[in-house]
Amino acid sequence: MRCKKGGMHMMINKDPIYQQLNRLLRQKISGDEYQVGDKFLTERMICEEYDVSRATANKSLSSLVSEGLLEFRKGVGTFIRSKPSVGKLLKLTSFTENARHAGYEAKSVVLRFERLKAKNIEAAISEKLQVGPEEDIYRIERLRKANDVPMILEHRYIVADYCPDLFEQSLKDSLYRLFTDKYDLNITGTDETISAVTITREEAELLEIEEGKAGFLVTSVGYIDEHIPLWWERTIHKPDAFEYRCQVRPNQAQQELKGHLIL
């Protein structure tokens, strides 16, 4: 595939053409050229600008529609529905806040909510939370959506002592806001690990994607008052729905990692 730019042809890698085109179109959507609600490029315009076939342009547009980034309106055209989520991993913000900032509605579907003893969860998680076997833990599973498009599958364990009367209905909104506003907890940071993972069949069904695709796996521990663990979580981020960008500078200067942090 060749991308026309400034009268020159720019050769790109050997990935399938529609995947390369997806990345280029996603970059265009996430840039300043388009805002949520704007009309996007037509198939013909994409063919001319990126030197691809009409079938390839159609496949890429359909893929971006299924991701929730574009919306097709019959007889009118294709429009920007949302932008890929970009935030700062070094700044604690909620999925709800990030989604609304990007111009779409956040929603949480509670898949599981139970209160159990720490002795009944994985020992590694209990160790991360620094709890004894008889302490109470909330186990929560949620599917996070933006404009009803599944984005993140969340598995979270919370130390119950810090929010003793937590109930299922409250889990449908931002937990970060619940922690800070209702329980007056001083959330001071997280310890996170980000890696690639292959999406399982169960995860794929919930995220409405094909089984076996790669996604982002984020595992983290959230702390209050600098060093006290409040939660442990494991989140699967839908592939192609998020961007992570790292700006690296000389070691004497501040470094910044941008991405999406789910709370």
* pLDDT surpasses 90 at 112: yes
Looking at residue 97, what is its pLDDT?
Answer: 64
What phi-psi label fits residue 225: left (phi over 0), alpha (psi between -120 and 50 degrees) or beta? Answer: left
Whether residue 18 has pLDDT greater than 50:
yes
Using the predicted structure, report yes or no on whether residue 124 has a pLDDT greater than 50: yes
Beta strand spans in the chain (E):
2-5, 8-11, 70-73, 77-80, 87-88, 106-117, 136-146, 149-159, 187-198, 214-224, 228-237, 245-247, 256-259
What DSSP letter does each residue of 23-73 carry, written as one string?
HHHHHHHHSSS--TT-B---HHHHHHHHT--HHHHHHHHHHHHHTTSEEEE
Binning pLDDT at 50, 70 and 90, where does residue 242 land? low
Q: How confident is the model at residue 215 (pLDDT cuts 50, 70, 90)?
A: confident
**83-87, 181-185, 257-261: least confident range:** 257-261
Between 94 and 53, whose confidence is greater? 53
Select from 232, 227, 218, 107 the least CA-distant residue to 172: 107
Mean local confidence (pLDDT), 45-59? 91
Which residue did the predictor score with more confidence, 130 or 18? Answer: 130
Number of alpha carbons in the 13 Å side-chain half-sphere of residue 146: 28
**Integer Cα distance of 235 and 263 in angstroms:** 10
The HSE-up count of residue 90 (CA atoms within 13 Å, CB side) is 8
Q: What pLDDT is attached to residue 39?
A: 93
pLDDT at position 262 is 33
Could you tell me the domains of the chain? Answer: 2-80 (1.10.10.10), 87-259 (3.40.1410.10)
Determine the Cα–Cα distance for residues 129 and 125; give it in Å rounded to an integer: 6
What is the residue-averaged pLDDT of the chain? 80
**Per-residue confidence (pLDDT) for residue 125, from 0 to 100:** 93
